[in-house]
Amino acid sequence: MANFILSKISCLVPQAQNRVGSPLQFYISTNVLLQYDGPSGKKSILLQEETPGVVTAVGPDWLKVSFREGGADVPFVVDSQGEYDVYSVATELPGQAGFHMIKDLPQKVFYYNGTPYQVMYGDKAYLQVDGTELQKLLKKRIPTKGRRT
């Protein structure tokens, strides 16, 4: 599979879902392991590299992706710190607005339904998309004609 790093693709997602007829397929870039050790015992969540997911919500600089029916909607935010802008895995933090990249947190924690899961590995995960599918979507875009005075 030819994967492309995404660069501010949130503007394409509604088009991908509405005009093309099926959502653009996203993939997670690396293995991610989350663990919670609480009174009810130890729980683990594993997302394997290239696990497919679909976008469930879109914001100005973020996407939420579901990797399993009925599972968590995982937030990804635009990360422009590297060579390319990518959507990096993020989380909500109690008492704070917005999403925060997990890789930038001093404690690597993902909150799912208010429960903190320790990120054992995968805090630098980002979204990928199949390059062929992205090119098909881009070809179907209708360019604006612009306005003249």
Q: Over the stretch 65-87, which tens digit does the pLDDT of each residue have?
A: 999 998 889 999 998 877 777 99
Q: Over the stretch 98-149, which tens digit does the pLDDT of each residue have?
A: 999 999 999 999 998 888 999 999 999 999 988 888 788 778 878 788 888 8
Asked whether residue 87 is assigned to any structural domain, the reply reads: yes
Per-position DSSP letters for 39-95, written without gaps between them: TTEEEEEEE-TT-EEEEEEE-SSEEEEESSTTS-EEEEEEE-SSSS-EEEEEEE-TT
Asked whether residue 41 is assigned to any structural domain, the reply reads: yes
Asked whether residue 146 is assigned to any structural domain, the reply reads: no
For all residues of the chain together, what is the average pLDDT?
Answer: 83
State the total domains in the chain.
1
- Residue 22: the pLDDT is 53
Asked whether residue 28 is assigned to any structural domain, the reply reads: yes
135: containing domain: 3-139
Question: Model-level pTM?
Answer: 0.77
How would residue 23 be classed by pLDDT, with cut points 50, 70 and 90? low
Q: How many CA atoms lie within 13 A of 90 on its CB side?
A: 21
Asked whether residue 83 is assigned to any structural domain, the reply reads: yes
Asked whether residue 149 is assigned to any structural domain, the reply reads: no
